[in-house]
Structure 1
Amino acid sequence: MTEILRARAALLDMDGTLVDSTAVVERLWLAWAEPHGLDPETVLRVVHGRQGHQSMAILLPERDHAINLHENEIMLATEAGDVDGVVGIAGADRLLAALETVPHAIVTSANVALMTARMQAAGLTVPELAVTAENVSASKPDPEGFLLAARMLGVAPAECVVFEDSGAGIQAGLAAGMRVVGVGRHAGAHAPTVHVDDLTAVTLTHLDDGFELRIG
């Protein structure tokens, strides 16, 4: 069944939503986790969608957070230099092209260097506005990033639609008072507004006061 959403702005996560970086993310995080004796399944449940230092704090709750911040900087630099296997999510290029003339932004837990490296590796254009790890004090599932992007675009949260894949990201979008398109086979488990396997299922039509998304 086709779902229709009308909005004035689109806010897009990057990893798992616009680019498929699963292989490199899981490879590097499991390598980080091994010396700590952490359960791999637990690690992979935690790290997607969050800033690295927050994931570390969840996984190693007794550790000094200053160590997490330091190791996160190392992790970000390592990830930015390792884009082997990073590709665009099906339909991402077409959706970004359709959004060029309407308010939109990336809202990602990556920093600028990592976002740029992965978007370039996937052959995707970075939107003019990007809210990255440098711009927020709280990681998803906190809604800060989405609310900041809406404010910068001058669009009310209720008039924004979020594209997200992770549980933390979907939770953040809903907490911001926005509708959420869950992207990917695991996204439906986190109760987004609507769910698609990939972005080929999304068609955008421009309206005088925004745009319409036909989903499905």
Structure 2
Amino acid sequence: MPTPSITVRGLLLDMDGTLVNSDAVVARVWRGWATEQGLDPEEVLRVAHGRQGHLTMATVLPGRPVEQNLADNRALLAKETADLDGIVPVPGAPAFLAAVEPLPHALVTSADRGLSTARMGAARLRMPQIRITSEDVSASKPDPEGFLKGAAELGFAPAECAVFEDSGAGIAAGLAAGMPVVGIGPRAAAHSPTAHVPDLEAVRVEPLQDGRIRLSFHG
């Protein structure tokens, strides 16, 4: 979609699918869980991207006890944190993180602190100094709470921050927060982000003299 540029003051970065390609691990863990529950693994995976695990479970198994979902979620998180096979950076992620290092930015992820540390480390990516993880919010994406907290941590109004996201839940959260959203990768295109690019190689980050950040896109 043609959006020549977006100018903001802060950047809010999702992790899985945006900076880190963890699809192989996510597919392994969630296909196993779906099969155990007698569910269609592909249908569960369509829901799982970008959400906290217990919310995915509540969505695909409505009426299931919350305690059971939370217990299953703890078990799956342990599996995901231990399984780092196949985790790689999204194309352009190392250069993108280098470009934004001196600029106001934060990680906003549905992962917990342990999982985000493990995956960023496995992909050999720098962890942003500010990060909002599942421990910091009361509601998962598509609720905007995480992105609103990220903007507050950076000290900017929501509309002054751009979100980078790959999932439908994450894009919905960013838009609900009143922020422009840069959709990354093939999953993002169907969810009407403000701009869409195939990966981070297609994003140019330009600091402006007044302290703002201009994002431009190609590809």
Any idea what the Cα deviations from partners look like across 1:24-81, whole Å, max 9, x if unmatched? 1011001011121101221011100000000011111121101111111111111011
Q: How many residues align?
A: 216
Distance 1:174 1:72 in 2: 27
Distance 1:202 1:62 in 2: 42
Q: Which residue in the other structure is 1:169 paired with?
A: 170
Deviation at residue 2 of structure 1 after TM alignment: 6.5
Q: Give the AA of the match of 2:216.
A: R
Could you tell which deviates more after superposition, 200-209 or 188-197?
A: 200-209
2:94 corresponds to 1:93: yes
TM-score (norm 2): 0.97
Any idea what the Cα deviations from partners look like across 1:113-149, whole Å, max 9, x if unmatched? 1001100111101000000000000000000000001
Could you tell which deviates more after superposition, 116-125 or 33-42?
A: 33-42
Query: 1:16-165, aligned counterparts within 5 Å?
Result: 16-165=17-166
Deviation at residue 187 of structure 1 after TM alignment: 0.8
Q: Which runs of 4+ in 1 moved over 3 A?
A: none
Runs of 5+ unmatched residues, structure 2: none
Distance 2:12 2:29 in 1: 27
Q: Which residue in the other structure is 1:214 paired with?
A: 216
Distance 2:93 2:127 in 1: 11
Q: Give the AA of the match of 2:212.
A: G
Secondary structure of residue in 2 paired with 1:63: coil
The answer to whether the 8 A contact 1:102-1:210 is kept is: no
TM-score (norm 1): 0.98
Secondary structure of residue in 2 paired with 1:163: strand
Distance 1:2 1:189 in 2: 16
Distance 1:186 1:66 in 2: 31
Secondary structure of residue in 1 paired with 2:214: strand
Distance 1:27 1:50 in 2: 16
Runs of 5+ unmatched residues, structure 1: none
Q: Give the AA of the match of 1:82.
A: D
Distance 1:211 1:116 in 2: 27
Distance 1:111 1:182 in 2: 22
Secondary structure of residue in 1 paired with 2:186: coil
Secondary structure of residue in 2 paired with 1:138: coil
